[in-house]
Amino acid sequence: MASNLDSVSDTQRTLYPYVTGTSVVALKYKNGILMAADMGGSYGSTLRYKSIDRLKPIGKHSLLGASGEISDFQEILRYLDELILYDNMWDDGNSLGPKEMHNYLTRVMYNRRNKFNPLWNALVLGGVKNGQKYLGMVNMIGINFEDNHVATGLGNHLARPILRDEWHENLTFEEGVKLLEKCMRVLLYRDRSAINKIQISKITEEGATLFPPFSLKTYWEFSAFKNPTVGAEGSW
């Protein structure tokens, strides 16, 4: 009887995340998909890591971005490595496209949610195959959708209204990058976990490209930034 109790007490679940990344923003543009994220990793509210890659090419046709628990993201990447290896072993001239990758991730996330042991991430999956652009997301409990632009985390509240106003299907690469920079700048101002070290990547029919990290030009002299709590109830 004691041994059974011991085995039950040894069962662990992810109760809260430890090292986390914040928002990912992505959109379709004329030739493919553009995706942006910062490179910060927060340990609670402490910005512990400042060079974490949260955008990864997956196979030949897909690009993956993740917010949430970094170690769970690494586990998801291991799952995808196995999936791509198995797919390549068929050597049938075909390869998994972004829609198949997104469907796979929705099943993985929902499966783990049903075990009450979720992978604590929100994922963005975009890609191009046979001239068809695809962009979707899935969260930690398996809720998923596809759209012309998506965002995770605080970006879902602050970046998507900007995207709804300014996105159109004939965006050039330069216009898409400018729009993503605008979204990331708003998030940098408003999200305490965001850092000014941004990575942008694109994927087209030719494949994925990850661009070097860069910093956004910012302006902190707005009066609301100088005394953000003035007039707030209970403030000093």
Q: Quote the CA–CA distance of 69 and 25 in Å, as a whole number.
A: 17
User: Which of 226, 203, 198 shows the shortest CA–CA distance to 38?
Assistant: 198
Query: Within 13 Å of residue 199, how many CA atoms lie on the same side as its CB?
Result: 23
The span from the CA of 219 to the CA of 188, in Å, is 11
Give the separation between CA 181 and CA 177, rounded to whole angstroms.
Answer: 6
Could you give the dihedral angle defined by the CA atoms of residues 54, 58, 63 and 65, in that order, rounded to the nearest 10 degrees?
-30
Cβ atoms of 197 and 55 within 8 Å: the answer is: no
- In the chain, the amino acid numbered 209 is T
Q: For residue 72, is it left (φ>0), alpha (ψ between -120 and 50) or beta?
A: alpha
Q: Would residue 14 show up in a list of annotated catalytic residues for this protein? A: yes
Catalytic pick among 14, 20, 209, 218: 14
What whole-number distance in Å separates Cα of residue 224 and Cα of residue 105?
A: 41
Structure tokens given for 114: 């049903």
In angstroms, the Cα distances linking 102 to 56, 80, 146 are 14, 11, 9
Residue numbers annotated as active site = 14
